[in-house]
Structure 1
Amino acid sequence: MTVTTGSGSLADPATRAFRRDSKRAGTHEQSSRADRVALGKDARRVTPRESHAEFQADGSRDPVGLLLEQSKSRVPELVPIRHGRMLLSAFTFYRGAALPMAADLATTPASGLQVQLCGDAHLSNFGAYASPERELVFDVNDFDETLPGPFEWDVKRLAASLAVAGRDNGFRAKHRRKIVLAAVKAYRKAMRGFAEQTFLEVWYAHLDIEEAIWQFRSQMKAKGFEATEKMLAKAHTRDSTQALRKLTRVVEGRRRIISDPPMVVPVEEVFPDVQASAVYEQIRAVLGKYRRTLQSDRRHMLEQFTLVQAARKVVGVGSVGTRAWIVLMDSGDGVEPVFLQAKEAQPSVLAEYCGRSKYTNQGERVVAGQHLMQAESDIFLGWTHMPSPDGVDRDYYVRQLKDWKFSVPIEQSAPSGMVVYARVCGRTLARAHARSGDRVALAAYLGRSDAFDHAIADFAETYADQNERDYTAFQRAVEDGRAQATTDI
């Protein structure tokens, strides 16, 4: 991918100089407010807000080639499943195509204002889950690609996802634009609000999803509100106990994970040529390393549970093919289960364009980014390193498999409901960025007008066009055998 040198792009000398100067300014909270406001307004001169509407694909770009190259580090027999899920629609393709978009974003105007990026902030990577206080909260919930970078990349990834999903749902152009504008306006206004708050107020801010749904009730149809209330109630049942019923059964008096290849495969079947005792000895050693990454009270809590069984599990769309394991643990009496998920962490798709992570362990990169962006994170969130029988050592991050998690069913949303959801996502992303970036400079850059909003809305539609072209190219690659896909799983 050739990176263009248009005004404000990462390759532009003026932008690089501006970024160096902004880093020299020191820690955000240690600079004067006037200097931080000036930094944001100076960024407008380097990269006008209106310029974010610009996007023109490099004629030599090969999105299919990027996806196939990315697949080389994944489990070969699972890659066709990933491709099959991406074939379902233009939106599912978009969900799996974070790497091609990262390459594209590197060619677009960049303000020079840095934050901790989610790296894959599409609308399905926001959702609800349980806080440590057992409240249902809403936040960004996928951090596989997290890395520091230009704040607008996350905003563009979210905005374009709204446009792509809107097209899949058959929404008219004016409705799609209203949805995208709602998200970006919410982001901009929330950032202005966070700029007026103390750092600790920003740090403690979180969104109680039940309170938010109640707040937006007047803007939702009764049917949509009732459906959302049912989803919230159902979310409270999604925990390790539910996972135990769904994923296991008792065999000869022992709790065992049900084999359902290729979706769920017990570790004994994944490595049939290795003694089970040797496999589990290694798993226990890996769990011991992982426990040391937890804070002391949570380490103590996890030590009350013992390993029962492990299995490989297929998860997500974009993540399919990366190695993901579920680990069943129990307190010893057989009635108090905990399901952990260990998910392989590979280098971020942003690394080639934003620079390598300062963390040598990619699992630690994911965990550090999640802690920085999320208001409240899973109590068992940690990382580890695992040797593999193929001779390649791999990094992992670990969390609970299910803990009141749910996401809005995008394909069932009406335009009015998507407007509400877009606002929630926009505000949530702003809070995540305000924790790591200079919220005062960001607010000054965004300003009070809707110039940035409309520029991003223009970009979103332009990129939705590009996504459709890439989706078509991917379909052709499957048809001609360049890419393998399985659509019946």
Structure 2
Amino acid sequence: MPVVAQIKQSNQSRHPLLLEQKYYRMTEGVYRFFRGTSFVFYQDFIQHFSTTDLTRVWGCGDLHLQNFGTYKADNRLVYFDLNDFDDAFLLPATWELSRMLVSILLAAEELALEPTEAKALLLAFLKSYTATLSAGKPTDIDRRSAEGLLKEFLENLEKRRRRDLIKERTLKSDEGRRLNVDHEKVMPILPQQYAKVKTMLENWHSQHPTPFYERICDIGIRVTGTASLGLERYVVLVESAKEKLYLLDLKEARQSTLAAFIQLPQPYWVSEAHRIVGIQSRVNNVLPTLLNPLVCESQSFVLKELQPEQDKFDFHYWDGELESLTSLVATLGTITASGHLRSAGRQGSSIADELIDFAHDTQWQRDLLAYCQDYPTKVHQDYFQFCEAFEEGLFDE
């Protein structure tokens, strides 16, 4: 199937205006295009990577550099971990790692690194990943344990304040603060959508032992990201019993992209949102504040607090020193392996001993490196075809 048809197929039944924005953002560069086309990536992977991999890990399903990020937990510490589980699934480890390695190579292109430097980053990630698996002991990363570029990133985030985020995202009105509907981060919401979201949150609020907030002040359509643009997503302004304002993120959950490719038996989940929250609860050591699944008739949503400390790590923050970038990539390898170990032995996933044996096998590492080093050529070809089709108006339908 031509790549244009693949992209259209994987983006069916999305909000037309937001889907238009997604397609536009995907023209901005190869890496952003890659972020928005996991369906294409996995269709290629299942056809062309033939190395046997008997491992079963709980993975985020879309592992790339910008699906790592920060969040504040209930203990009020800021953590750095995997933070996007929309496509989370039980899958072979090589499926999870392949997308990460290709993302490193595409990021290295944007940073104008030499091929030898890019390969060094791949090896740093794999070395750290396999070393952590071999040790059989997961770890977590917060400001106290972070080093180098990541430590600086976390320290800067901790300087952000909730009141500044509220001022930035809201406006004063006669009825109190309301969301700033700027059409860039927040779009206006239709009355029927407002009523649906309000009812859903009120139902959850009435059943939750610690509901976090007292009343809903305003609701808008949230515009953010690349891969998820076009799904239903809302930002909600709420007030606590102590009259403090908070922002909540409510994101529609849909079937994992991997469901079309992975044949492994999966557990029963009450909803797609329960799948996302359930797997994240296994992989992360400490969870973001307020992470909950909500169900509304045939749809489900993931609820969490929208925090000033929450941010995806952007590789463009790089300070120009290869050593600091290598250290960061190695940390990502440790985090990935830690998630696999932390969730080992749960509902069909490999036990720790099996993952340790996997870490000692060098054949899959050689095969995966060879495949991933070749694959960026395909991404460039697909990106060129997509941009041509976009310019010709083939995505305007």
Question: RMSD across aligned C-alpha pairs, in angstroms?
Answer: 2.3
Match runs of 1:398-413 below 5 Å: 398-402=303-307, 404-413=309-318
C-alpha displacement at 1:403, in angstroms? Answer: 5.0
Check if 1:181 corresponds to 2:123: yes
Match of 1:390 in 2: none
In structure 1, C-alpha distance between the alignment counterparts of 2:3 and 2:267, rounded to whole Å: 24
Match of 1:442 in 2: 355
In structure 2, C-alpha distance between the alignment counterparts of 1:118 and 1:292, rounded to whole Å: 31
Check if 1:283 corresponds to 2:204: no
In structure 2, C-alpha distance between the alignment counterparts of 1:289 and 1:180, rounded to whole Å: 47
Match of 2:368 in 1: 456
Match runs of 1:122-133 below 5 Å: 122-133=64-75
1:238 and 1:405 in contact (8 A); partners too: no
Check if 1:71 corresponds to 2:11: yes
In structure 2, C-alpha distance between the alignment counterparts of 1:304 and 1:470, rounded to whole Å: 46
CA distances 1:10-69 after superposition (whole Å, capped 9, x unpaired): xxxxxxxxxxxxxxxxxxxxxxxxxxxxxxxxxxxxxxxxxxxxxxxxxxx433212111
Gaps of 5+ in 2: 344-349
Pick the aligned partner of 2:377 from 451, 465, 478: 465
2:65 and 2:313 in contact (8 A); partners too: no
CA distances 1:410-447 after superposition (whole Å, capped 9, x unpaired): 12423333211110111100011112232211221221
**SS of residue paired to 1:475:** helix
Match of 2:174 in 1: 252
In structure 1, C-alpha distance between the alignment counterparts of 2:317 and 2:75, rounded to whole Å: 31
CA distances 1:51-99 after superposition (whole Å, capped 9, x unpaired): xxxxxxxxxx433212111222210111111011111111111111111
Check if 1:433 corresponds to 2:340: yes
Match of 1:242 in 2: 164
Change (3 A) 1:281 1:163: closer
Check if 1:92 corresponds to 2:32: yes
1:291 and 1:382 in contact (8 A); partners too: no
Match of 1:220 in 2: none
C-alpha displacement at 1:332, in angstroms? Answer: 4.5
1:264 and 1:312 in contact (8 A); partners too: yes
1:240 and 1:339 in contact (8 A); partners too: no
1:258 and 1:266 in contact (8 A); partners too: no
CA distances 1:380-425 after superposition (whole Å, capped 9, x unpaired): 11111235xxxxx422111111252233331242333321111011
C-alpha displacement at 1:265, in angstroms? Answer: 1.9
In structure 2, C-alpha distance between the alignment counterparts of 1:381 and 1:258, rounded to whole Å: 24
Match of 1:301 in 2: 210
Change (3 A) 1:289 1:191: farther
The normalised TM-score by structure 1 is 0.74
CA distances 1:317-361 after superposition (whole Å, capped 9, x unpaired): 111111110111102554x11211000111100001125662241
Match of 1:394 in 2: 299
1:89 maps to a residue whose letter is G
**SS of residue paired to 1:354:** coil
Match of 2:291 in 1: 381
Pick the aligned partner of 1:121 from 63, 67, 70: 63
Match runs of 1:197-276 below 5 Å: 197=137, 202=138, 205-213=139-147, 217=148, 225=149, 231-238=153-160, 240-261=162-183, 263-267=185-189, 270-271=190-191, 274=192
Q: Report the count of equivalent residues.
A: 385
Higher helix share: 1
2:277 and 2:292 in contact (8 A); partners too: yes
Change (3 A) 1:292 1:362: farther
- Identity over aligned residues, as a percent? 21
**SS of residue paired to 2:113:** coil
In structure 2, C-alpha distance between the alignment counterparts of 1:440 and 1:229, rounded to whole Å: 32
Gaps of 5+ in 1: 1-60, 218-224, 294-298, 388-392
Change (3 A) 1:238 1:147: farther
The normalised TM-score by structure 2 is 0.90
1:137 and 1:208 in contact (8 A); partners too: yes
**SS of residue paired to 1:187:** helix
Match of 2:245 in 1: 337
In structure 1, C-alpha distance between the alignment counterparts of 2:285 and 2:338, rounded to whole Å: 9
**SS of residue paired to 1:261:** coil
1:159 and 1:460 in contact (8 A); partners too: yes
